[in-house]
């Protein structure tokens, strides 16, 4: 098939290695956002809201996957809540959703202890069952700030990672020196267990709150242990992306919450996410804007172990066609997507006939 794209930009599909498919409210009528005062308070608000929802989690998750596919995302890592209220039911629903998208959008699943491990009864057993049931990644959440037990929390996470050959992805919101001590403990455990390249710290706001030798020590430890950092380009403190990348740390950008009880904003568009990280990082040059695109393409592809990723002869014909003359213009210009091509066929609303 020959298609004249009239000079449009062709890039590999976006990869979003941090979403929460089970949390989105897309498909529900708009709900006013209730702002919790702390992580614990927001977890309470979410658990209270769940029974009031009128659409199934599977329907909402599917609506979100359809939406991100139209913007060019072909691969996802989704955290899924595992707690004493929902048990494994959200995981089971997402395993079914994942099966319906096989060959179109790939989904890696994280068993996520949103309500803690040490402080949530039965959490350890549920997380273990989740890994047995098909989750590939074990999650974690503020070992000190939430569970107030650094060793107790990480003992469970890394024990399960070792026993099940699971990857690790820890949400770390804890600030400053507190967060830094957790970064150092996670990198030390990663090195000790030989888990290089298989561990992610998500958010790591603390890296944007410290400087000098404290920051250098953490950056060196992350590079040495090959522990990656995820940022969503928040308005507040965020990791120094360029400094980390220059030190050899893998950094990638993810959506995190998209229209849910945690966060009312978002549409899951990964080109917009690259723009947000570039903007919040103060980037302006072409070189920096080009590197922003890597945060939503090649870097997270590595995290998801996508061996056949990229526009290379022999790989599957997956492309995103962007109305821009270059990757720099795409990141800077909020460029629309003209076509999304999956496994040799166009998807989405724009008819291929327009380009013949």
State the minimum distance, in angstroms, from the CB of residue 170 to Zn ion.
Answer: 10
260 contacts Zn ion (rule: CB under 5 A): no
State the minimum distance, in angstroms, from the CB of residue 139 to Zn ion.
Answer: 9
> Which 107-166 residues touch Zn ion, going by CB under 5 A?
none
Contact indicator for 348, 70 with CB cutoff of 8 Å:
yes
CA neighbor of 202 nearest in space, from 166, 227, 235, 226 = 227
What's the chain's length in residues? 356
| Residue 308 CB coordination number (10 Å) | 10
Q: Which stretch binds Zn ion (CB under 5 A): 240-248, 252-260, 263-271, 328-336?
A: 252-260
State the minimum distance, in angstroms, from the CB of residue 330 to Zn ion.
Answer: 25
Q: Which residue is nearest to Zn ion (CB)?
A: 256
147 vs 256 by CB, closer to Zn ion: 256
Contact indicator for 137, 108 with CB cutoff of 8 Å:
yes
State the minimum distance, in angstroms, from the CB of residue 194 to Zn ion.
Answer: 26
142 vs 256 by CB, closer to Zn ion: 256
Q: Which stretch binds Zn ion (CB under 5 A): 147-155, 172-180, 253-261, 269-277?
A: 253-261
Q: Rounded to whole angstroms, how far apart are CA atoms 326 and 122?
A: 51
Q: Which stretch binds Zn ion (CB under 5 A): 4-12, 94-102, 250-258, 286-294?
A: 250-258
Query: What six digits make up the tokens of 226?
Result: 């090959």
Q: Which stretch binds Zn ion (CB under 5 A): 227-235, 251-259, 304-312, 315-323?
A: 251-259
Q: In what order do the strands lie in the sheet with 199-203?
A: 14-19, 73-81, 106-112, 137-141, 167-172, 199-203, 227-231, 251-253
State the minimum distance, in angstroms, from the CB of residue 205 to Zn ion.
Answer: 12
169 contacts Zn ion (rule: CB under 5 A): no
Q: Rounded to whole angstroms, how far apart are CA atoms 78 and 80?
A: 6
256 vs 260 by CB, closer to Zn ion: 256
Instruction: Draw the binding track, 41-80, toward Zn ion (x: CB under 5 A; -: no contact).
Output: ----------------------------------------
User: What are phi and psi for residue 136, nearest 5 degrees?
Assistant: -100, -15
Size of the site for Zn ion (CB under 5 A): 1
126 vs 200 by CB, closer to Zn ion: 200
Q: Rounded to whole angstroms, how far apart are CA atoms 78 and 101?
A: 14
256 contacts Zn ion (rule: CB under 5 A): yes
Q: Rounded to whole angstroms, how far apart are CA atoms 113 and 81?
A: 6
CA neighbor of 334 nearest in space, from 286, 295, 281, 279 = 279
State the minimum distance, in angstroms, from the CB of residue 16 to Zn ion.
Answer: 11
State the minimum distance, in angstroms, from the CB of residue 20 to Zn ion.
Answer: 6
Q: Which stretch binds Zn ion (CB under 5 A): 124-132, 210-218, 254-262, 314-322?
A: 254-262
77 vs 337 by CB, closer to Zn ion: 77
Helix, strand or coil, per DSSP, at residue 228: strand
Half-sphere exposure (Cβ direction) of 64: Cα atoms closer than 13 Å: 34
Q: In what order do the strands lie in the sheet with 345-347?
A: 9-11, 319-322, 337-342, 345-347
174 vs 256 by CB, closer to Zn ion: 256
Footprint on this chain of Zn ion (rule: CB under 5 A): 256
């Amino acid at each position: 098939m020959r298609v004249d794209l009239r000079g449009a930009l062709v890039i590999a599909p976006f990869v979003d290695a941090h979403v929460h498919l089970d949390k989105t409210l897309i498909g529900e009528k708009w709900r006013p956002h209730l702002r919790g005062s702390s992580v614990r308070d927001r977890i309470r608000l979410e658990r209270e809201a769940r029974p009031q929802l009128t659409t199934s989690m599977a329907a909402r998750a599917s609506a979100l996957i359809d939406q991100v596919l139209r913007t060019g995302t072909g691969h996802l890592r989704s955290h899924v809540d595992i707690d004493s209220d929902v048990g494994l039911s959200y995981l089971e629903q997402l395993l079914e959703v994942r099966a319906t998208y096989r060959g179109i959008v790939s989904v890696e699943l994280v068993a996520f202890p949103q309500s803690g491990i040490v402080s949530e009864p039965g959490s350890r057993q549920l997380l273990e069952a989740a890994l047995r049931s098909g989750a590939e990644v074990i999650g974690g959440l503020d070992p000190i700030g939430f569970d107030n037990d650094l060793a107790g929390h990480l003992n469970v996470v890394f024990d399960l990672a070792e026993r099940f050959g699971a990857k690790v992805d820890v949400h770390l919101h804890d600030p400053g020196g507190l967060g830094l001590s957790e970064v150092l403990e996670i990198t030390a455990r990663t090195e000790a267990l030989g888990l290089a390249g298989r561990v992610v710290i998500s958010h790591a706001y603390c890296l944007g709150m410290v400087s000098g030798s404290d920051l250098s020590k953490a950056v060196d430890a992350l590079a040495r242990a090959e522990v990656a950092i995820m940022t969503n380009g928040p308005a507040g403190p965020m990791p120094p992306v360029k400094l980390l990348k220059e030190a050899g740390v893998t950094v990638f950008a993810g959506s995190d919450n998209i229209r849910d009880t945690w966060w009312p904003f978002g549409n899951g568009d990964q080109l917009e996410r690259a723009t947000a990280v570039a903007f919040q990082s103060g980037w302006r040059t072409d070189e920096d804007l080009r590197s922003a695109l890597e945060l939503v393409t090649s870097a997270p592809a590595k995290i998801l172990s996508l061996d056949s990723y990229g526009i290379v002869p022999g790989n599957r014909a997956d492309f995103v066609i962007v109305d821009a003359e270059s990757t720099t213009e795409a990141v800077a210009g909020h460029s629309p997507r003209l076509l999304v091509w999956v496994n040799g066929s166009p998807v989405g609303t724009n008819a291929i006939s327009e380009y013949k």
